[in-house]
């Protein structure tokens, strides 16, 4: 107990210090972010963009799809371009061409090498010079550059408008015509995209050859290349990771762990009688399976748009289900079904652990269910309606699609979800209370479950921290608090603690061992995980020290994953500890799969893009998608399914249980995911990385690469993996249908069971 108290103290200290540093970094980002100009003018006094247009352009882009329609500074979807890189390249080419024709009377490509070199040097000087005047809030451009900006702005207004000449390009980008029907939005959009490219090219005050985005994206035309810091801190992070892994292996080898206890002769939970509130959680799990099916369906459509753009095997589906809507649902439902599975697990196990059913607990569980259902249906419908009918910026922010990846639902729905999560914490806390105040061997685990739940409810408040007019750098800062800390941090702590608690209740591990292990595991995970959030923010207009902190602590995130294989092997051994444990075989195998995908998806694929030098070239490319699919579904999805199966085992008729269906489900999901990632996404990501390194980020995201024969072939090579994966989800649905219809077939099942006996 004394050792465990020390661990809790260290956990509190590490969390306090880490969040203090993270808060300080946020303040520095706010103070040093790329300035938003009031006016952008040429030296002759002509105004290109007026006051408030950068801000309105940001809102317009987000309402048109935002991060579901290309990226800005590398964050978003992968079919349309990174608009910052695209604008930067187009503007550089336009400006160089203006000079070539005026000064030499010929196209740039027709000039001599010496003349080309002279214009390239002039281009770099022009594009990198910081002409922002803080006193007046004005960016002043040369007359030639102003002409180039007008040329690129015309292209963008045509692209986001309805110029028929760009229909083919829009199809390649999987974007519909007239994405911004409001003339004022259409006029303002180029101001925001220009500003994002200007911040990526112009030197920071007091720096030379270092832009506000630390020279991202790679653009050889203006010598936008990785900074020395990106290379140095990448090397340092790899060295730190190797040393930390070696230290962890040594500590683990030297530690003398207690052997697992002798398992009970019978299932300790066999005679557990579900309380009314526990029974009320059953419908949550069936809705989870429905959301999985919907998410997979939208994923198939979204992936197909990468080839056909507007059609699904010839049918013009984008007219009623645009890419931005299908991708929004695909990413949003992934978070929602995983979160719902974990929330329902908490509500199920709380009375089982404490042996206490609070008054009106069933009513609360039912109210929460219908409230969550209302939020899911309402936010999805309003997002689709707002995108399809172009309801405008205010509608998109408050009710529709905010245009931010994984946090896309409108602000009203976010507020309602925050209230719902606080209500969930209340329900969980009141059911756990007797166990929280009672001294027992597993009390530490129960406390960890409750604290993680408290953080899940409380930290969702970070989704309310930005507004319609918030600086884009600060939106990204707070968005990653939600996506990284909320989903990858506290949900994982909650789920890990729940699994440990379940294993202790089954008598497969000692409560005393689990208490210390879970706190130590949380310390190791959060020590790297909290400040590791900053690896998402290397190039989003942040100070250069973000690269150093993010690189080092992100490397430490990989360290605990080095021992995942040991834990997975232990869990496999536990699955064979006694004959009755086979009852929970597929839940335990799901937890083992979590260990595999933690090592491969979060560890191997995650670290392959997390160092600053790697992410500089690969941010916003398919290697990110490979990591995202393997980590999000492989780790959190399989964890959610494992918990779902454990709870349904105690809620449903055991005669209706089908291990045969679950076997197909398990292997199809895991093999299908592996095929999808390693046959399609990883090769596509490597090919794009080559294009980014050799030519530039604009090229890696251009139609020349995205719609090259090789890339489209790699997209089609997703089909075998997608089919196998889809079969797995269908068998999960069939398994659920069998459980749902078991009541009507109870007599028949009992008779079959009796005959077999």
Question: Within a domain: residue 198?
Answer: yes
- Residue 743 — pLDDT band, cuts 50, 70, 90? low
Q: pTM of the entire structure?
A: 0.94
Write phi, then psi, for 3 (nearest 5 degrees).
-65, -40
Question: Within a domain: residue 5?
Answer: no
Q: If you average pLDDT over residues 594-615, what whole number do you get?
A: 93
In angstroms, how far is CA 371 from the centroid of its own chain?
Answer: 24
- Residue 327 — pLDDT band, cuts 50, 70, 90? very high
Question: Within a domain: residue 660?
Answer: no
- Residue 753 — pLDDT band, cuts 50, 70, 90? very low
Q: If you average pLDDT over residues 185-210, what whole number do you get?
A: 97
pLDDT in tens, 314-323: 999 999 999 9
User: Tokens 């035309």 belong to which residue?
Assistant: 221
- Residue 747 — pLDDT band, cuts 50, 70, 90? very low
User: Tokens 């790679």 belong to which residue?
Assistant: 218
Same domain assignment for residues 125 and 150: yes
Q: Over 47-80, what HEC string results?
A: EEECCCHHHHHHHHHHHCCHHHCCEECCEECCCC
- Whether the Cβ atoms of residue 411 and residue 402 lie closer than 8 Å to each other: yes
Of the candidates 225, 254, 276, which is a domain's last residue?
225
Q: If you average pLDDT over residues 23-28, what whole number do you get?
A: 98
**Nearest to residue 624, comparing CAs of 669, 674, 677, 548?**
677
Full DSSP string of 222-239: GTB---HHHHHHHHHHHH
Question: Within a domain: residue 394?
Answer: yes
Question: Within a domain: residue 711?
Answer: yes
- Residue 752 — pLDDT band, cuts 50, 70, 90? very low
DSSP 42: E
User: Tokens 């939020």 belong to which residue?
Assistant: 375
Which range of residues forms the domain containing residue 413?
230-651
pLDDT at 508 over 90: no
Among left, alpha and beta (phi > 0; psi -120 to 50; other), residue 66 is left
Domain at 527, CATH number: 1.20.210.10
pLDDT in tens, 398-435: 999 999 999 999 999 999 999 999 999 999 999 999 99
pLDDT of residue 249: 86
Question: Within a domain: residue 6?
Answer: no
Q: Distance (Å, rounded) from C-alpha 686 to C-alpha 697? A: 13
Same domain assignment for residues 476 and 566: yes
Same domain assignment for residues 438 and 371: yes
pLDDT of residue 392: 94
Residues 646, 742, 574: CA angle, nearest 5 degrees: 25
Q: Distance (Å, rounded) from C-alpha 475 to C-alpha 468? A: 10
Q: Which range is least confidently modeled, 158-162, 351-355, 373-377? A: 351-355
Burial class from Cβ neighbours inside 10 Å (0-12, 13-18, 19+) for residue 2 reads exposed
pLDDT at 749 over 50: no
**Nearest to residue 710, comparing CAs of 333, 321, 307, 410?**
307
**Nearest to residue 352, comparing CAs of 448, 266, 434, 451?**
434
Full DSSP string of 456-500: HHHHGGGGGS--TT--HHHHHHHHHIIIIIIIIIIHHHHHHHHHH
Q: Distance (Å, rounded) from C-alpha 42 to C-alpha 224? A: 24
Q: Distance (Å, rounded) from C-alpha 516 to C-alpha 10? A: 12
pLDDT in tens, 199-253: 999 999 999 999 999 999 999 999 999 999 999 999 999 999 999 999 988 887 8
Strand 47-49 and strand 39-42: the pairing is: antiparallel
Q: Distance (Å, rounded) from C-alpha 190 to C-alpha 196? A: 10
User: Tokens 């010598």 belong to which residue?
Assistant: 223
pLDDT in tens, 68-106: 999 999 999 999 999 999 999 999 999 999 999 999 999
Of the candidates 651, 684, 715, which is a domain's last residue?
651
Same domain assignment for residues 538 and 476: yes
Residues 6+ apart with CB under 8 A from 199: 34, 211, 212, 213, 541
Burial class from Cβ neighbours inside 10 Å (0-12, 13-18, 19+) for residue 636 reads buried
Same domain assignment for residues 691 and 636: no
Q: Over 400-458, what HEC string results?
A: CECCCCCCCECHHHHHHHHHHHHHHHHHHHHHHHHHHHCCCCCHHHHHHHHHHHHHHHH
pLDDT in tens, 456-486: 999 999 999 999 999 999 999 999 999 998 8
Query: Percent of the chain having pLDDT more than 90?
Result: 82
- Residue 757 — pLDDT band, cuts 50, 70, 90? very low
Same domain assignment for residues 363 and 512: yes
Same domain assignment for residues 457 and 562: yes
Q: In what order do the strands lie in the sheet with 132-133?
A: 47-49, 39-42, 138-141, 132-133
**Nearest to residue 735, comparing CAs of 673, 648, 671?**
648
DSSP 312: B
Residues 6+ apart with CB under 8 A from 659: 585, 586
- Whether the Cβ atoms of residue 82 and residue 188 lie closer than 8 Å to each other: no
Write phi, then psi, for 141 (nearest 5 degrees).
-110, 155
Question: Within a domain: residue 748?
Answer: no
Q: If you average pLDDT over residues 647-653, what whole number do you get?
A: 92
Of the candidates 199, 225, 251, which is a domain's last residue?
225
Per the structure block, which two tokens stand in for 121?
């040097």
pLDDT of residue 496: 84
- Whether the Cβ atoms of residue 684 and residue 714 lie closer than 8 Å to each other: yes
Same domain assignment for residues 185 and 319: no
**Nearest to residue 222, comparing CAs of 89, 99, 98, 108?**
89
- Whether the Cβ atoms of residue 609 and residue 623 lie closer than 8 Å to each other: yes
Per the structure block, which two tokens stand in for 167?
């229909």
- Residue 746 — pLDDT band, cuts 50, 70, 90? low
DSSP 501: H
pLDDT at 745 over 70: no
Q: Distance (Å, rounded) from C-alpha 51 to C-alpha 138? A: 9
pLDDT of residue 625: 95
Same domain assignment for residues 161 and 246: no
pLDDT of residue 399: 97
Same domain assignment for residues 717 and 681: yes
Q: Distance (Å, rounded) from C-alpha 158 to C-alpha 700? A: 23
Question: Within a domain: residue 494?
Answer: yes
Same domain assignment for residues 462 and 597: yes
pLDDT at 539 over 90: yes
Same domain assignment for residues 71 and 209: yes
pLDDT in tens, 614-641: 999 999 999 999 999 999 999 999 999 9
Write phi, then psi, for 224 (nearest 5 degrees).
-80, 100
How many domains does the chain fold into? 3
């Amino acid at each position: 107990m004394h050792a465990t108290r020390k661990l809790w103290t260290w956990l509190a200290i590490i969390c306090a210090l880490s969040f203090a540093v993270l808060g300080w970094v946020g303040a520095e980002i706010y103070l040093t972010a790329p300035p938003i100009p009031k006016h952008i003018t040429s030296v002759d006094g002509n105004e290109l963009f007026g006051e408030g247009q950068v801000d309105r352009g940001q809102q317009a882009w987000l309402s048109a799809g935002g991060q579901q329609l290309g990226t800005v500074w590398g964050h978003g979807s992968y079919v349309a371009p990174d608009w910052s890189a695209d604008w930067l390249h187009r503007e550089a080419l336009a400006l160089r061409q203006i000079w070539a024709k005026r000064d030499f009377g010929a196209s740039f490509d027709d000039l001599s090498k010496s003349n080309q070199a002279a214009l390239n040097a002039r281009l770099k000087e022009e594009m990198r010079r910081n002409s922002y005047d803080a006193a007046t809030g004005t960016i002043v451009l040369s007359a030639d550059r102003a002409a180039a900006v007008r040329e690129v702005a015309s292209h963008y207004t045509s692209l986001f408008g309805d110029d028929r000449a760009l229909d083919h390009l829009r199809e390649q980008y999987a974007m519909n015509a007239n994405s911004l029907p409001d003339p004022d939005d259409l006029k303002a959009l180029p101001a925001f995209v220009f500003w994002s490219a200007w911040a990526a090219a112009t030197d920071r005050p007091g720096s030379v050859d270092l832009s506000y985005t630390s020279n991202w994206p790679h653009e050889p035309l203006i010598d936008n290349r990785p900074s020395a810091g990106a290379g140095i801190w990448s090397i340092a992070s790899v060295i730190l990771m190797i040393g930390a892994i070696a230290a962890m292996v040594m500590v683990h080898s030297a530690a003398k762990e207690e052997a697992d206890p002798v398992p009970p002769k019978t299932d300790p939970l066999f005679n557990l009688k579900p309380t009314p509130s526990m029974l009320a959680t059953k419908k949550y799990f069936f809705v989870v399976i429905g959301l999985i099916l919907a998410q997979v369906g939208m994923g198939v459509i979204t992936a197909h748009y990468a080839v056909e753009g507007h059609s699904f095997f010839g049918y013009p589906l984008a007219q009623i289900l645009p890419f931005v809507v299908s991708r929004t649902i695909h990413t949003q439902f992934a978070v929602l079904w995983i979160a719902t599975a974990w929330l329902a697990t908490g509500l199920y196990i709380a009375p089982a652990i404490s042996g206490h059913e609070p008054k009106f607990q069933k009513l609360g569980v039912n109210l929460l269910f219908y409230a969550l259902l209302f939020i899911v249906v309402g936010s999805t419908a309003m997002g689709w309606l707002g995108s399809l009918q172009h309801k405008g910026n205010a509608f998109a922010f408050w009710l529709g699609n905010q245009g931010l990846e994984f946090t896309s639902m409108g602000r009203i729905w976010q507020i309602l979800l925050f209230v719902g999560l606080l209500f969930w914490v209340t329900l969980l806390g009141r059911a756990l209370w007797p166990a929280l105040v009672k001294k027992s061997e597993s009390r530490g685990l129960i406390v960890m479950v409750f604290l993680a739940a408290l953080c899940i409810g409380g930290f969702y408040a970070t989704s309310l921290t930005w507004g319609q007019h918030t600086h884009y750098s600060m939106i990204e800062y707070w968005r990653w608090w939600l996506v990284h800390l909320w989903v990858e941090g506290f949900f994982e702590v909650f789920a890990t603690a729940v699994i440990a608690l379940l294993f202790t209740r089954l008598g497969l591990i000692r409560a005393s061992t689990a208490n210390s292990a879970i706190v130590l595991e949380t310390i190791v995970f959060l020590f790297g995980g909290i400040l590791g959030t900053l690896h998402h923010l290397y190039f989003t207009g942040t100070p250069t020290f973000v690269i150093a902190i993010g690189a080092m602590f992100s490397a430490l995130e990989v360290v605990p994953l080095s021992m995942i294989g040991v834990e997975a092997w232990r869990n496999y051994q536990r699955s064979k500890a006694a004959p009755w444990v086979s009852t929970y075989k597929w839940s335990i195998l799901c937890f083992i799969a979590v260990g595999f995908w933690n090592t491969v998806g979060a560890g191997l694929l995650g670290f392959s893009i997390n160092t600053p030098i790697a992410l500089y070239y690969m941010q916003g490319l398919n290697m990110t998608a490979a990591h995202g699919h393997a980590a999000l579904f492989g780790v959190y999805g399989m964890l959610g399914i494992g918990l779902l199966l454990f709870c349904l085992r105690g809620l449903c008729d055991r005669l209706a249980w089908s291990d045969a269906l679950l076997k197909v489900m398990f292997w199809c999901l895991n093999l299908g995911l592996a095929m999808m990632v390693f046959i399609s996404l990883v090769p596509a990501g490597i090919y794009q990385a080559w294009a980014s390194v050799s030519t530039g980020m604009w090229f890696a995201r251009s139609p020349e690469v995205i719609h090259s024969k090789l890339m489209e072939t790699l997209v089609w090579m997703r089909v075998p993996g997608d089919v196998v994966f889809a079969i797995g989800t269908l068998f999960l649905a069939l398994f659920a249908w069998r459980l749902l219809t078991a009541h009507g077939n109870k007599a028949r099942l009992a008779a079959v069971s009796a005959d077999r006996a």
